[in-house]
Each structure stands twice: as structure tokens, then as C-alpha cells.
Structure 1
Amino acid sequence: MSTYRLNTLAVAVAFAFSAPSMVNAQEASAKAEKNIEQISVLGSRVSNRTATESSSPIDLIDADDLNKGGFTELGQSLQATAPSFNFSRTQVSDGSDLFRPATLRGLQPDQTLVLVNGKRRHNQSIFGLTSTVGGGSAGTDMNAIPLIALKGVEVLRDGAAAQYGSDAIAGVINLSLNNSTDLTTGYVQYGETAEGDGETISAGLNRGFELGNEGGFINLSLEYRDADKTNRAERDTGGSLNVAPGTLSDEVRWGQGNAESEFTSVFYNMALPMGEGELYSFGGYSERTALGNGFYRNFNEASKNVTQVYSDGFLPQIDNEAQDISVAVGFKGEINPDWTYDVSAVYGENQYDFTSRNTLNASYAAEYLFNNPGASDADIAANAGPTEGYSGGFRFDQTTFNADINGIIDIGRSEPVYVSIGAEYRKENYEIVPGEVASYACGAANTDTSYPSVNDPRVNLHNVAFKLITAFVLKLQTKAIVIVTQYM
């Protein structure tokens, strides 16, 4: 008898619908494209330069390669197919339950320039914690773009900064959106871990339609994912009212694993010939939630707990919510057979909000007991302040205008001179949204008065809270400078 243990169990169903003759033609076309050189938009200013002619090495990854690993998240798929790309998984680190840091060549997330159809993609609004991968930086949220919406990915690692600037030190990743028509593709996937948790249901759908009779199209993508949490924590020795500190708890009270999450995304890609040029547009909307965990607060931590509310301590939870919006509109065409132009405008916005649950602000109960020395345990619990509430948020938006002209000049040699002229204007705004007063106040009155802890009068909660808030504010000040950058 043999026993097999699987880390993950997954069942997936993929489908594609179209006319039989069209499927055969498209399959034949796809096989033919495998045998010819692909044109890359990275590594050169020449629009018709193939990957083999580029002066820098470029990784070309098509949709088939992205889907071979069975992943439904773009970040995970790229990690399995793109060299030097890492999509680390972190827990108990605030926003990392939603925004997993994506790094290239081991450098910071914000040192990788991400493009969509050759246009700059905006960054996420929340900075990574300094104790995690990508700490202190805000990279691009790779998972905001549905995997099913992609036709392929190009990765430029060497020489990227020389062509794209200092925000491409690690490299450039260009995500090419699907432009197929008259073909419906999709998938449904279910999976869970060997421990019986982390049940995940994913579904995606893509469909393209022709616009007019001159090669216009619009391609639509929809993706949905719902995942339960996982927990690999063990029993702790923090103790409780009935269990002495240093003794194993009766049950697992910490949380260490993937957060319970839900993700919905809609994307589009379109182009419409107009006169001698082409009007194009692409963009999308995604919404994501994740219920993550904090560090467990032991019952005897005077500065963090009130035993009249949580007699055995508590595990705070962070309800993360994020929204991402992007839209690009442009027009490109030929001035003459040797010269082309491209004018575009791109807008991107990322919002992040978090609400704390199953928590408290210990200074509320401390202030109440100080003003009401004879209060009962029930009175203290009733006046200990809210146990959940909005804790704050972040906003980032970016607007970019581009105008490019590319062409060749014949100087009488075997190879012409390639010329590229361009201008860009970019404006970025960053904002921190304050949370409810109870998320940071020193007591209900929020004054400078010091109050002793309810559980240990030797602990001055005001001083503890003041130090924590001061450290938090200083940390935010180093990150949350409103940036308005203009390039001409």
C-alpha cells in the first residue's frame, strides 16, 4: 500500500468556444507564430525590431507558458516562468495580505518598471513594512491585472536603466493584453491544501469582438477568485487567566498563513482604425479584500489588553480593502512610410483602506477607571471603547501624457539611422487618510493626561501610547510625502 501526500490539491477545467473552422485556423496560426521571430517593444526604440536583434536580452513569455503552471495569479505565474522574478509571500505584515511584493533580480519592487501595452503602469498606494521583502517601497500590484487578460509578457533585465531611467534599475516588465476576436476562453479551478484549509475557487472568462470591418476589435476579460484562510501556527505559551504563562495553550490562538481573500477584476483592450491611424484604449478595474491577522495580544500585556474585555487575550484582525482603476487612450499612425507617431494619455489610481476588528484601545478603559475608581468589571468592559473601526487608508494616482515620433534617416550607409523623439508629462499625488479617533487616541478625551493601566497600575498607558504613536507618525512622515512630479 502506497501513501501520497500532496501539498495542494487542485481541479481545473478550461474551455474555449468558437466555430470549428476558426479554431483550427487559430491553432495553426498559433503554431506558426511559435516558429517565427516575435517583435518586441522593449530593448529598442525601433518598433519593428525582433527580440533576436535587440542589443539586450529579452524574455518572451506567451499566454500558453503563463498557464502551464496551473496558477491563476499573474504574480505566481511569472515567478514560475520568468528568471529572476520573485513574488514573495508574507503574513502578519499589514498590507502584504493584499499586496505581495514583486521583485526582479533581488532589487526593490519600485525599481522595476511595469508597462501595459508599452505604457507605464501606476504603483500601489501602500508601502511595504521595513521588516518584510520590499520594505520601505511601493511597487506595482501585479495581481491587479487578471492573468486571463494577457497575450504575453516581455521582461528586459539588462540595460533597462539606460533606456527607461532610474525607476527601471532592476528591469522592465511589459504586459501585452489579449487582442483576439471571435473566441471565448475561460477556466474554473478549485483547490485546497493537504491540511484541509485554504479552499480556493477561481474562474476566468475572456471574449473578443470585432469592431467594424477594418480590423477593429475589443477584448474583454473577467476574473474572480475566493480563497479561505490557512493557518500553520501552533499552540502558544502566552498563558491566560486559567493557564499559567509558559504552559501550552489549549488551542491554537495565533494566526500564521494566507488571509481569507476575495478578488474581482474586469479588463478591456480595444483598437479602432480611423483614417490613416488607429485609436486605441485599454484599462480595467479590480477590487480585492483580505482578512489578515496581527500578533496575538497576551492577557497580561498591560499596555495592550484589558482583561475585563478579553480575559484570555485576543488576536486582532485587519480587514484590508483595495481598489485599482486604470485607463489609457491614445492615437497612433504613420506620417509617411518611414515615420510613425503615438500620442497617449494614461491614468491610474490605487486605493487602500484597512479596518481593525477584534481589537481595542487600552487607554479608553484606563481613562474610565481613573475617573471612576469604584467601577465594576462590567462597567469597565462597557466603557472600554470600540472593538473595531476604520484605521486609515492610502491613496495614489498617476496621470501620464506621452507624445512619441519614431523614424529612420537614410545617410547612404547599409543601415539607416533610427531616430526617436518624445515628450512626457507625469503628475503623481499621494495621500494618507486618517482613521477613526479611537484608532490612535489616548483615551476618550484624547488629552495629554497620563493614566495607569487597568491590569497593571505600574504601567503608564499614556507614555506607552505616546511612544507608539510618535514612532508610527515618524515612520509615515518618511514615506507619505505628497509627490508631484512633472516631466516635460
Structure 2
Amino acid sequence: ALTDGTDSVRPAALRGLAPDQTLVLVNGKRRHSAALVNVNGSIGRGSSAVDLNTIPSLAVGGVEVLRDGASALYGSDAIAGVVNVRLREANTGGAVQASYGWRETEYTVPVIAPTAAGVPDPGSTVTRERSDGHVLTVAGWKGYSLGADGFLTVTGEYKDQNNTERAGYDSRQQYPGSFPEGEAIINRFNGWTGEPELEQLSFFANGGYTLANGVELYGWGSFQDRETVSAGFFRRANDARNVIEIYPNGFLPKINPTTTDYSALGGARFNWAGWDVDASLGYGSNKMEFQIIDTLNASIGPSSKTSFDAGGFEGSQLVANVGLVKGFAMDGLASDLNVAWGVEARQETYEIFAGEPDSYRNGGVLLPNGNPAQSGSQVFPGFQPQSERDEDRTAVGAYLDLEANVTDKLLVSGAVRGESYSDFGEALTGKLAARYDVNDSFAVRGSIQNGFRAPSLQQQYFTTTSTNFITVIENGESVLRAFDVTTFTVDDPIAIALGATPLDAEKSVNYALGFVFRTGAFNLTVDGYRIDVEDRIVLSENLTAQNVQDYLVDQGFIGSGGGRFFLNGVETETQGVDIIANYTFPETDFGTFRGTLGANFNKTEVTKIPDVPQLDALSPAPVLFGRVNILTLEEGAPKDKFTGQIDWNSGPFAATLRAIRYGEVLVPGSVAASDYTLSPKTVIDLEARYTWNEKLTVSVGADNILDEYPDAAPQGFNSSGNTPFSTYSPFGYSGRFVYTKATLNF
């Protein structure tokens, strides 16, 4: 909640980098990204990434994670690594699955002492019991045979999720007047922080067929329709943003986006002149349309509607590629020289469409003090006509990859890729990697490579404007004037006046060194890494200070209150270690046990922040990328994370016990005195299963069984009292989730 649609998207992120610095593939093919760009204060601010929520879990046959940069093979976005989702392939059988669960929890938060007359004082803390967040999921898959050499696997999923509410006690005065009667009885847990309300229907189909001549045809398609409801901050009855004739007790405005996502891909694999060829053509689209409900436009007054069409955005991707692989016998090598090369062409589009006029306009109504009321639908003003965009770009790329065993123990590979984009230019990347098998149990591996990430169309062209009334000094007096505060595109004349320049690609250098140890039933992998990123694309601070407005007036821009824009210029250094160990214990009379331990140590340092001459010349110079955003990159995620899991099987019985310990996280403030730390927490999950006749499996379990919560904001750090938990928490703040699940295989 409180993130303007971001809470409905589930991205992948590796090694502490941004979600859009991890490339997501489906069956080895690039997946299209969500149209949403995260412009709020949550983790991943400024990024636009692939939404894994669009892939039903039963459609997945496995997930491969390449925790290493791979730009030399796949091009843009693979700075941190690659996540490859392998789809289920089956020509027979199937399953239906139903699960139901909810949050059964209790939490305690501090209370800000009431200062207004008539407000009840519950004491220094308040403890609440909650039973909410009910989730029903019904899914199934079925495999069909296509002749003797083909398959079609179809998956469907329906999910209905209620919201969770983890508000704190709002001790502020709610009603206008000195001693309003309602203060003693109004519900003061008026926030809606937590999981959103969600309803989604998803389909996925994956198929393949081998022709008589050996040509293998393959393809897949997907569709999802999702409706989400999340809330903003509560507007009290006495709030200037409220119209008391509409909401006499205040209101909680809600963001209600509908997301439509679909994709289709077809291809063929065949042999040509000794080359194994893979050619495909794929298309994907993601669209979000925003309805704002339980709200109002205060500037229209009592006649305002309470729901608005606020517009939205849509992005698409069309990709064609051809890859060829062949082995060549070479003297002096211990294996064939494996040669892989290919070409790819991609077209991307991005569109913003406006909402209805009442969602953004100012209706002219004045507040009782004579000041203008705020414009647009509360919590999310609609996109204005001047924000509409319809943009596209093309990119073409080619790569070459060579790999061979130089000796029986030493494997060496190298790759190079060049890409050309119609909007920002060219990029060239390369990679060198080696693996040395010391013996059958122990191997050392390492790589060095450079990578890049092209600026997304969302980062280049996302724009929205809200009209704010800002106090300015005229003739020595303070007066309110209407100003447009905008998230600018980088080609906007006002953004250019503020120092914006065309976005360039992010550039990275990735170093990795690790080892693999295997003996019997024990496996251990340790990988160290360092990733240096230059020209990292970030969203600037809101540049709305008085001297910025004066500067814009001097430049001829009347009525602009400033705003923010995307820019290159941040440099970061990320280093860390990944450790994974697993062991299958010898079978006992009590069954079979398998244990897995994992650890990640990760540190990111911002080594350079951007500056622009236009703003540096002002006094005082505005902060372009401030301490909150810097510390979010450096301290906003745990620097250490430990995982442990034990799986047990004994005949029809099975169980899984999992524990994850998250290291401390800093919640930064605008000044150091307003920082606070989320202490390390351990979250434990437990599930038990029983299977009848190898067909029906019934599971019961609990995620976060000990009902762990992040530390609540200390008194004085939560001015309203009703938002006690930080979105920086790495495991959320909804508490224990209990569930049951039944799966019938056939």
C-alpha cells in the first residue's frame, strides 16, 4: 500500500541491485516488462521490471538463476544476473490445486500521546489481534499429446485476496471544532497499510511438436487480468483535502488499477549445415488502467464524484531472434570448440493515456480561509492530456560466444555482444570466464565482464503533472499561487532548463570468483562478486524550492512549480558473497532428511552522485539526489541474510521447516536524527503434508509461524500514528499466515 500500484507488481532482484538490473527469461527468451515505473519511495525507486505475478506457479517447471552478469549473451538488463523460468512440459497427466489461507496475528505499536481534547488515550502502546488477508487460490494444469511427438500443457489460476490492515493508533484530532462529540467513538485505526486487495485470473499454455523432418516447433502464450485495490493515507474529517459534506468522518482514498498482461511466442529449432538453429518471434504487452475510488476532488466541492478514471499506461515488446550453435574439432584442445552466435531485433513501445478531466482539473472551490482547494482526485491525480505520450524504439544486436576445454581440467569461454538502439546509440559488452576442475570434487571458477542496461522507455517518457498551490513571496507578502509540479521527461524544456540531458545506458563491470565442492551427498558453492555501475539511472528529488521557481521564471517558464526527472550520474560499488550448501542424510527408520543452508553478504556504496551546473549555480544549491535515496541504495536492504531448510519424507508423510534471518536495515530520514534501524529478525515457516495413493496431497502450514514483525517506528518518527511499520521491511509487516492446500494429481 501507499505506493501507487507498485504493490501489485512482484519483480526479481539479485545481489542488492535494482529489479530492472536483473534480466528475466521464459524458456530462455526475454520476457516483457511491466508498464509501471516505480516513482515512489519504496525499494527499487525509479525502476521498471518484469512482473513475476503474471506467471502462474503451476505453469513453472523450474527456475534457473544465473547469479552473474550476462550482458555479453543477452544484452541489456543482465547486470546483476539472469532468472530463467522454465515452463512445464507434459503430454499427459495433470493436477488441480486449491489453497486457502489467512493472516492470524497480533502486533504491538507505540502510541503518540493525544494532544487534542476529547481524544481517548490508550496508553504508551496498543496491542491488536487481527484475522484478515484471506486468500483463495484455485489452479490446475493438464498435459495433452499432440500426435506422437508433441505436447501441449495448459495452466489456469484464479486468485482472490483480501487486504491486510496493520494501522497504528491515530491520536490526532479528527473533526473540526473544539470538543467534537465524534472524537471519543471514531475508529482511530484508520489506515490500510499492508497487503492489497487482489483478484486475478491467469492462463498459460506451452507446446511443442516435432515434424517428420526433425524440425521442432515450439511456442507459448499467456494472459492475465488483475484488479488490485490499495489505499493511500487517511484524510481526516478536518483535513483541507476533505469535503465534509461528502465524507463527514473523513475518508481513505484507494487506488484501483486493472492490469491486462498477455504474451505469445513461436519458434523453431532445426539443423542447418551442421548448425543447431533456434529462431523465434515473440510479443508481450502490459497495460495498467487506474480507477481512483472512495475519493474526491476537493476543488470541485460537494458536487465532486467519489471515483475517477485517472488514465494509465501501456508498454509492449516485439522480439525476433536467431541463434546458431556448432562444435568444431580443433587441434590442441581437449574438446570441440563450441561456437554460438546470433542476432536479435527488438521493438518496444510505451504509451500514456489521460484520465477524465475531473481526475486532474481544479474546480475553483476555495477553502474557508480563502485559499484554493487541492486539484485532482485525492491520492492519485489523473494523467493530464499534456502527459500523453506514444513512444517507440528499436534495437538490434549480435553476439558471438566461444567455449572449449583447453585441457581436461580447464574450461575457458569468451563472449562479445554489440547492440544499437534507435534512441541512445550503441553498446559493446564482453565476457571472459574460466573453470578449473582440481579433481572430481573441487572446481574453481571466475569471470570478468562488462555490461549495460539501456534506459527503459518508462524512464525516458513517464510524466505526470499535479497542480499544487504553493506559497510564494510577492511584494513582501505571502500569497498562494497555482503551480504545476511535474515528473518531467528528459526532453521537456523545463527539465532541460533544470539540467536534464538525454539518458545514456548504465555501464557495469562485474568480477566474480568462486568454487564448487561436491562429495557424495554434500554440495557446497561459494561465489564472491563485485559489481561497479556507472551512469546509474535514478529519479531526482522534487526540485520545488523557492529559488528553483524563481530560476524557472527567469528562464521564461511561468506557472511551473518545478518537479523531478530521471538522470544518469550515480555510481555504485556492490560487493558480496553467496554461499549455498546442501546435504542429503542417509535414510533412517524415521525417513529421509535433506538440509540446505545459505548465506548472502552484500554491501553497496554510492561512490558518486550527480550534479548539474544549472542547479549548482543557485544559492543554496538544491539537492539533486539526497541522503534518503543514497542511504536507500546503501542501507535499505539487509547486508546479510541467512537461510536454512530441512525437508523430511517418510512414506506418505512429508514436512518442510524453513528459517530466514534478515540482517538489520536502516530506514533513512531527511536528516540523521530522523533515521531509525530495523533490527535483525528471523522468520520461520513450517508445512506438513500427507499423500494418499500418490494422487491426493493435503498440506497444512504457516508462514512466519512465530508471528514476527519488523520494529515499529519509534515515537516521534510517525507523525500521524497510523503508519507504524516501514516499507523497508524485507519480509513485510502482515504477520503470521496460516493455510491449507489440497493437490490432486491425475
Could you say whether these structures have the same fold, taking a TM-score greater than 0.5 normalized by the shorter chain as the test? yes
Q: Is the contact between residue 235 and residue 248 of structure 1 (CA under 8 Å) also seen in structure 2?
A: no
Once the two structures are TM-superposed, the CA of residue 243 in structure 1 deviates from its matched residue by: 8.1
Q: Is 1:397 matched up with 2:332?
A: no
Q: How does 1:77-476 map to 2 (within 5 A)?
A: 91-194=1-104, 195-213=130-148, 215-236=149-170, 237-241=172-176, 250-251=186-187, 252-274=189-211, 275-302=213-240, 304-336=241-273, 338-365=274-301, 381=302, 384-413=303-332, 414-443=334-363, 452-453=366-367, 456-461=368-373, 465=375
Cα distance change, pair 487–169 in 1 and its aligned pair in 2 (3 A): same
CA-to-aligned-CA distance 1:106-127 (integer Å, 9 cap, x gap): 2111111100011100000011
Unmatched 5+ residue regions in structure 1?
1-90, 366-380, 444-449
Check 1:159–1:397 CA distance in 2 against 1; reply closer, same or farther (3 A cut).
closer
CA distance in 2, matches of 1:211, 1:200: 36
Once the two structures are TM-superposed, the CA of residue 248 in structure 1 deviates from its matched residue by: 7.3
- Alignment-derived partner of residue 32 in structure 1: none
Cα distance between partner residues in 2 of 1:200 and 1:327: 29
Which whole-Å CA distance do the structure 2 matches of 1:243 and 1:263 have between them?
47
Q: In 1, Cα distance between the equivalents of 2:67 and 2:178?
A: 55
Shift of 1:130: 3.2
How far the C-alpha of 1:244 sits from its partner, in A, is: 5.6
Q: Do 2:359 and 2:382's aligned partners in 1 also have CA atoms closer than 8 Å?
A: no
Specify whether residues 249 and 482 from structure 1 end up closer, same or farther in structure 2 by C-alpha distance, changes over 3 A only.
farther
Instruction: State the SS of the aligned residue for 2:282.
Output: strand
**Is contact 2:175-2:237 (8 Å) kept?**
yes
Asked whether the equivalents of residues 96 and 128 of structure 1 are also in contact (C-alpha less than 8 Å), the reply is yes
Distance (whole Å) between structure 2 residues aligned to residue 350 and residue 175 of structure 1? 18
The change in CA–CA distance for 1:107 and 1:364 in structure 2 (over 3 A counts) is same
Q: How far, CA to CA, are the matches of 1:249 and 1:92 in structure 2?
A: 26
DSSP-derived class of the 1:311 partner: coil
Q: Which structure has more strand as a fraction of its residues?
A: 2
- The 3-state SS of whatever aligns with 1:191 is strand
Q: Using the TM superposition, give the Cα deviation of residue 346 of structure 1 relative to its aligned residue in structure 2, in angstroms.
A: 0.5
Report the CA distance between 1:345 and its aligned residue: 0.2
Q: 2-side partners of 1:158 and 1:296: how far apart?
A: 44
1:266/1:451 CA distance change after superposition, 3 Å = closer
Go from structure 1 to structure 2 and tell me whether the alpha carbon gap of 1:182 and 1:301 turns closer, same or farther (over 3 Å shift).
same
Aligned length: 365
Shift of 1:273: 0.8
| Residue 276 of structure 1: how far off its partner (Å) | 2.3
Structure 2 letter corresponding to 1:344: S
Deviation at 1:162, TM superposition (A): 3.7
Instruction: Say whether the 8 Å CA contact 1:329–1:346 is kept in structure 2.
Output: yes
Which SS does the other structure have where 2:58 is aligned?
A: helix
Contact 1:239 1:248 in 2 (8 A): no
Aligned AA for 1:341? V
Check the 8 A contact 1:101/1:134 in 2, yes or no: no
Instruction: Give CA deviations for 1:397-445 in whole Å, capped at 9, x if unaligned.
Output: 10000011111222223322221221111000001111111000111xx
Worse-superposed segment, 158-167 or 239-248 = 239-248
Corresponding letter in the other structure for 1:158:
D
Provide the C-alpha distance between the structure 2 equivalents of 1:115 and 1:143, rounded to a whole number of angstroms.
14
Give the alignment's Cα RMSD to 1 decimal.
2.7
Counterpart CA distance in 2 for 1:235 and 1:124 is 35
**Structure 1 counterpart of 2:161, which letter?**
A
Contact 2:355 2:383 in 1 (8 A): no
Shift of 1:306: 1.4
* 1:481 Cα deviation from its structure 2 partner: 8.0
- Rounded to whole Å, the distance in 1 between the matches of 2:339 and 2:319 is 22
* CA distance 1:243–1:347, shift in 2 (3 Å): farther
2:53 is paired with a residue whose SS is helix
| CA distance in 1: counterparts of 2:178 and 2:168, whole angstroms | 16
Structure 1 residues 385 and 465 mapped into 2: Cα distance closer, same or farther (>3 Å)?
Answer: closer
Contact 1:288 1:321 in 2 (8 A): yes
Deviation at 1:193, TM superposition (A): 1.1
The Cα of 1:129 is off from its aligned counterpart by: 2.6
In structure 2, C-alpha distance between the alignment counterparts of 1:244 and 1:135, rounded to whole Å: 43
Structure 2 unmatched runs, 5+: 105-129, 398-746
CA distance in structure 2 between the partners assigned to 1:282 and 1:271 by the alignment: 9
The question of whether the paired residues in 1 share the 8 Å contact of 2:291 and 2:310 is answered with yes
Which segment drifts farther, 231-240 or 315-324? 231-240
CA distance in 2 between partners of 1:222 and 1:485 (Å): 33
8 Å contact kept, 1:192–1:200: yes
Q: 1:404 is paired with a residue of what secondary structure?
A: strand
SS of alignment partner, residue 231 of structure 1: coil
Alpha-carbon distance in structure 2 between the residues aligned to 1:101 and 1:296: 28
Instruction: Give the TM-score of the pair, scaled to structure 2.
Output: 0.46
| CA distance in 2: counterparts of 1:277 and 1:159, whole angstroms | 32
State whether residues 409 and 418 of structure 1, in contact with CA within 8 Å, keep that contact through their aligned partners in structure 2. Answer: yes
Query: CA 1:226 to 1:442, structure 2 compared with 1: closer, same or farther past 3 Å?
Result: same
What TM-score do you get using the length of structure 1 for normalisation? 0.70
Detail structure 1 runs of 4+ shifted over 4 Å in the superposition: 241-249, 471-474
Q: How far does the alpha carbon of each residue in 1:189-239 deviate from its partner, in whole angstroms, 9 at most, with x for none?
A: 1111112211111121111111111x2110111111111111111331241
Q: Partners in 2 of 1:234 and 1:424 — Cα distance?
A: 52
1:60-71 matched pairs, under 5 angstroms: none
Q: Residues of 1 paired with 2:134 and 2:383: CA distance?
A: 38
Q: CA deviation at 1:339?
A: 1.8
Partners of 2:199 and 2:27 lie apart in 1 by 27
Give the superposition deviation at 1:241.
4.2
Larger helix proportion of the pair: 1
Percent of aligned positions with the same letter in both sequences? 36
Contact 1:239 1:249 (C-alpha < 8 Å) held by counterparts: no
